[in-house]
Amino acid sequence: MTLFGTNGIRGVLNESLDPEMGYKFGMAVGTYYDTEDIALGYDNRTTSDIFRTAIESGVLNSGKNVIDLGMVPTPAVQIYCKLHKIPGIMVTASHNPSEFNGFKIIAIDGSNPGKEDEAKVEDIMTKESFVKTTWDFVGRIRNDDAIYPYINEILKNVAPNRIRGKRFRVLVDCANSTTLVTTPLLLRKLGTRYVSINGNPDGSFPGRDPEPSEDNIRDMRSLARIGGFDLSVAHDGDGDRATFLDEKGDLIDGDKFVALVADHVLEQQKGDLVFPVASSFLIDRIAEKHGVRVVRTAVGAPMVSDVLTKIHGLMGGEENGKVILPQYLNAGDGGLSVAMALDLMSSTNMEISKLIKQLPDYRLKRIKIAGRTDFESIKGKIKDFYKKMEADEIDGLRLVDRDSFILIRKSGTEPVIRIYLSSMDPDWINAREREVMKFLSG
């Protein structure tokens, strides 16, 4: 496949992504799936109107109807697809900068489509083997609401009355994007008093980049330090992720957040966990406590979702804080994460920083080395040097020393090598970092 990357098709208008591709994509999705209706949602990027109208034309010309859900987060479209058992399309470039946009397919169960489905759609696009309709069978557009059904589904996973009783104070940063139509509403339904920043929709993303990284959410961090909030949350552009700050305004490590949620979920029901090799061994300690398994996968939410389906797992996640609860939706959802965070604070009656502090202190250090294409030779040298450590190649090379590890992998999309170092012992991390960096410089 050449068009579809790890998360659909992405590009810049008239540079790497033409409106004509949107039209062909719509035709191909309409040709491939045999349902009458196809749901469509989009973010508020400056190019979303041009791409979604092109896609709509394509779907209509394949004889299928478009259910236009408007400007909504990706998980709202996914829940709509799951509830109505229809496929969907989302026009978004998630956390990429404002010049990018993209199209992704949503499977009939609301999850990410399998690689086979994407390959078949791509094949229809490249061979132009579309089904074309006639004037009397052409599809129609109708609008529907995806927001309230989405919020209601989230609320089924938490105890809304208990949360309302706490009257939490929350700071929210929706990055001038899609979650503006859902997270403030969710916070109202949960009885919180909230303050919103970057709270007007603007596709040029004037407030911050839509990736909720530590650097990008500086405004929220300064406000969180002085505002007296129980919790602060920053979403990515299309709402499948959330980054949190505690009541002091300190960043909550995503790796620890998912472990906390897993512990909370496992207290209510039992089932196996699915996590990528980049997550620390903290998740293994949580699994041991509840007598369940952790299955490790390659890095990326689609891999986690895939294995969750195969083993009927209870919960999955990623070290960036993404929580996947398949009984709700087999994909990440920032809105669900917000509700989960408030649920565990209300059920324990504890500040979020104290809940995090109770966990075994596994540190996870992530290092990004740009401009490297010699991954294979580095991998060989490192494997040789650490031959006493247990090695696996689920994704790149992971070297395990009891409950510490070094993971070295190359990015699937850019010439970048990523290194993850995890241990409860900060000295171990520092020592391994010095050794690994020597291999990269020499």
Catalytic residues: 94
Candidate segments 12-20, 92-100, 279-287, 418-426, binder of Mg ion by CB under 5 A: 92-100
**Binding residues for Mg ion restricted to 240-259, rule: CB under 5 A:** 240
233 or 421, CB closer to Mg ion? 233
Q: Report, in Å, the least distance between residue 182 CB and Mg ion.
A: 14
117 binds Mg ion (CB under 5 A): no
Residue 38, token pair as written in the block: 């196809």
C-alpha 256/C-alpha 273 separation (Å) is 15
Contact 81, 41 (CB under 8 A): no
**Binding residues for Mg ion restricted to 181-240, rule: CB under 5 A:** 236, 238, 240
Residue owning tokens 């291999």:
439
71 or 408, CB closer to Mg ion? 71
In one letter, which amino acid is 375?
F
Q: Report, in Å, the least distance between residue 7 CB and Mg ion.
A: 8
Q: Report, in Å, the least distance between residue 264 CB and Mg ion.
A: 23
370 beta partners: 416
Candidate segments 94-102, 253-261, 307-315, 402-410, binder of Mg ion by CB under 5 A: 94-102
Q: How many residues bind Mg ion (CB under 5 A)?
A: 4
Of the chain, the end-to-end C-alpha distance in Å amounts to 35
Q: Report, in Å, the least distance between residue 222 CB and Mg ion.
A: 25
Residue 356, token pair as written in the block: 């995090």
Contact 154, 336 (CB under 8 A): yes
Comparing every residue's Cβ against Mg ion, the nearest one is 94
Residue 336, token pair as written in the block: 């669900």
Contact 100, 73 (CB under 8 A): no
240 or 395, CB closer to Mg ion? 240
Q: What is the 3-state secondary structure (H, E, C) of 13-34?
A: ECCCECHHHHHHHHHHHHHHCC
228 or 412, CB closer to Mg ion? 412
How many angstroms from the chain centroid is the CA of residue 279? Answer: 15
Q: What is the DSSP string of 296-347?
A: EE-SSHHHHHHHHHHHT-SEEE-TTS-EEBTTTBSS--HHHHHHHHHHHHHH
Q: Report, in Å, the least distance between residue 425 CB and Mg ion.
A: 33
Residue owning tokens 């919180």:
192
22 or 239, CB closer to Mg ion? 239
Residue 112, token pair as written in the block: 């990410």
- For Mg ion, the binding residue among 31, 61, 78, 94 (CB under 5 A) is 94
CA-closest candidate to residue 386, choices 371, 404, 363: 404
241 or 296, CB closer to Mg ion? 241
Q: Report, in Å, the least distance between residue 177 CB and Mg ion.
A: 10
Return residues touching Mg ion (CB under 5 A).
94, 236, 238, 240
